[in-house]
Chains A and B, each alone.
Chain A
Amino acid sequence: MTGTLAAVGAGLAVIGAGIGIGQIGGKAMEAIARQPEAVGDIRTNMLIAAALVEGAALATIVLAFFA
């Protein structure tokens, strides 16, 4: 990682992932509150969506490492 620009990029990626995963978690909570019987399905799908968001953010962070 040269300089601080790459670190700023990594930080921006984390902000994006934070908003994304926050949205997923919040919506999953609402969904569970609305339909508690579907908690298993909601949890699995929440994890998948969170993993996808996280994947994009982590790819950026790794790129920042190698930049």
Chain B
Amino acid sequence: MKGLARQLLILLLSFATTVVLAQQEGDTSGHDQDPAGHVETADHQAGEAEAGTPHAPEKYNPSPAVMNHIGDANEFHIWGPIALPLPCITYEDGQGLSFFSSSVFHHGTMAHNGFVLDHGVLRKVVGFPTRDAVELESLHTDDDGHAHYVHTEEVKTESGKVAEHKTIQYQGQTYTLESSSKIFSGTSWIDFSITKNVFTMFMATILLFFIFFGMKRFYANNEGKAPRGLTNFMEPFFEFMRDEVVKPSIGPKWERYMGLIMSLFFFILVCNLMGLIPFFPGSGNVMGNISVTIVLALITFFVVNFSGNKHYWQHIFWMPNVPVPIKILFIPIELAGLFIKPFTLLIRLFANITAGHTIILSLVSLIFIFGEVGQNVGGASVGAVVAFIFVAFMNLLELLVAVLQAFIFALLSALYIGAAIEDHHHEEAH
């Protein structure tokens, strides 16, 4: 009781702090520039609106840049004007598959095949007159001399949500852009491209193949000897996962699922670690892409449910040793649990990695916020110092999170599989 009261007090206090902070925030923005704050919130919700709306004043809005960096792209940006072009594979209704390299867009200045590149992301132009490569008309040029070809504005949909409406200019005409079809958004084309994330996943896979086939060769050639080099480095990780995760969680039939759990762990780990490298071979936010985590969680879901034995299904549909009304009550709960387990699995991984990347990028954008987009060099220097310290610490924390999330995903997958195939009841399992 006392503990509860204390917790309530903590809750109230945290509310009070929030209210005070919110008021201060409101005050400053009120004094500064009210319309700016308004525009900024609109931008913030829509995500990827570079340069904001035409009326946006000289105030840096970090949200589009952050969103662009954590998102997927059809070219791998390396440095300044240099980007690695990636293959685009599109499927259009009535057109079929098309293959082309993202270098045909010349960094978004050209249209090709009826597609344009908007900040590295492929978009289809609705009703574009030609499928040839043509130059687009520049809409405006910003202070740094960068020409912009895509105009973004926020429109309110019927349901009151803010959606993006992107347009380009070609031969005096305005054309609307269409993003690729995701779940529940029925646009006319699907993107099968080797995007930045797919590229990073390929690299992670190749890296893992080299590491583990190298280890295999070493063990085959040096039987009975102590491991050396890379094998020596990797063996503790592997043995830890085998002895602390797979064996105790899955039980006597652990060997059958060893490959799956190990693949999940090392694939997620390598992708996470590559995402922490801020320059070219890394920087792809793979596990921060919900499609990737959905697929990984679906693999676990199918493995769990296809290997589930009699006891597993009995516990779901007719829980033993409880009265009949409770049995009936448990059926919907257990059925929901069937889907909630992989759902939390995918959300946990996605949200943790996305949050980490967002925090680091927001800290980096402190430089531009303090520097007022190059107007205030002193402010930018202060921002750089602050950002350096915080980003260094955040990266250390993210290193922990990268390993921990890979471990948690593998551990929970192993636990779910173990619960589905165990022969006895829970009390006897331990």
Chain A residues whose CB sits within 8 angstroms of the CB of B412 once the complex forms: 48, 51
Closest to A66 in B: B161
Q: CB distance B351 to A2 under 8 Å?
A: no
Q: CB distance A55 to B244 under 8 Å?
A: no
A1 to B7 alpha-carbon distance, docked (Å): 29
Chain A residues whose CB sits within 8 angstroms of the CB of B162 once the complex forms: 2
Picked from B45, B343, B344, the residue with its CB within 8 Å of the CB of A1 is B45
Q: CB distance B11 to A15 under 8 Å?
A: yes
Q: CB distance A19 to B343 under 8 Å?
A: no
Q: CB distance B347 to A47 under 8 Å?
A: no
Chain B residues whose CB sits within 8 angstroms of the CB of A51 once the complex forms: 348, 408, 411-412
Q: Which of A51-67 contact B (CB under 8 A)?
A: 51-52, 54-56, 58-59, 61-62
Chain A residues whose CB sits within 8 angstroms of the CB of B411 once the complex forms: 44, 47-48, 51
Chain B residues whose CB sits within 8 angstroms of the CB of A58 once the complex forms: 344, 347-348, 351-352
A59 to B345 alpha-carbon distance, docked (Å): 10
A56 to B407 alpha-carbon distance, docked (Å): 18
- Residue B101 at the chain A interface, CB threshold 8 Å: no
Chain B residues whose CB sits within 8 angstroms of the CB of A54 once the complex forms: 348
Chain A residues whose CB sits within 8 angstroms of the CB of B408 once the complex forms: 47-48, 51
Q: Which of A8-67 contact B (CB under 8 A)?
A: 11, 15, 19, 40, 44, 47-48, 51-52, 54-56, 58-59, 61-62
**Taking the nearest CB of chain A, how far is it from the CB of B298, in angstroms?**
17
**Taking the nearest CB of chain B, how far is it from the CB of A17, in angstroms?**
11
- Residue B234 at the chain A interface, CB threshold 8 Å: no
Chain B residues whose CB sits within 8 angstroms of the CB of A44 once the complex forms: 244, 411
Number of interface residues of B (CB under 8 A): 24
Picked from A2, A11, A48, the residue with its CB within 8 Å of the CB of B415 is A48
* Interface core residue of B162, B350, B412 (most chain A CB under 10 Å): B412
* Interface core residue of B10, B244, B345, B347 (most chain A CB under 10 Å): B347
A40 to B243 alpha-carbon distance, docked (Å): 12
Chain A interface, DSSP helix/strand/loop, else mixed: helix
Q: CB distance A59 to B415 under 8 Å?
A: no
Q: Which of B339-376 contact A (CB under 8 A)?
A: 343-345, 347-348, 350-352
Q: CB distance A61 to B351 under 8 Å?
A: yes
Flag B369-404 by CB within 8 Å of A: 1 or 0 each. 000000000000000000000000000000000001
Picked from A11, A19, A47, A61, the residue with its CB within 8 Å of the CB of B7 is A19
Chain A residues whose CB sits within 8 angstroms of the CB of B351 once the complex forms: 58, 61-62
Closest to B351 in A: A58
**Taking the nearest CB of chain A, how far is it from the CB of B8, in angstroms?**
10
**Taking the nearest CB of chain A, how far is it from the CB of B353, in angstroms?**
11
Closest to B408 in A: A51
- Residue B160 at the chain A interface, CB threshold 8 Å: yes
Chain A residues whose CB sits within 8 angstroms of the CB of B344 once the complex forms: 52, 55-56, 58-59
A46 to B20 alpha-carbon distance, docked (Å): 35
- Residue B307 at the chain A interface, CB threshold 8 Å: no
Picked from B10, B347, B352, the residue with its CB within 8 Å of the CB of A59 is B347
**Taking the nearest CB of chain A, how far is it from the CB of B369, in angstroms?**
20
Q: CB distance B407 to A62 under 8 Å?
A: no
**Taking the nearest CB of chain A, how far is it from the CB of B250, in angstroms?**
14
**7 A-B residue pairs with CB within 8 Å:** A2-B161, A15-B14, A47-B408, A51-B408, A52-B344, A59-B343, A59-B344
Interface residues of A, Cβ cutoff 8 Å to B:
1-2, 11, 15, 19, 40, 44, 47-48, 51-52, 54-56, 58-59, 61-62
Interface residues of B, Cβ cutoff 8 Å to A:
7, 10-11, 14, 18, 45, 160-162, 244, 343-345, 347-348, 350-352, 404, 407-408, 411-412, 415
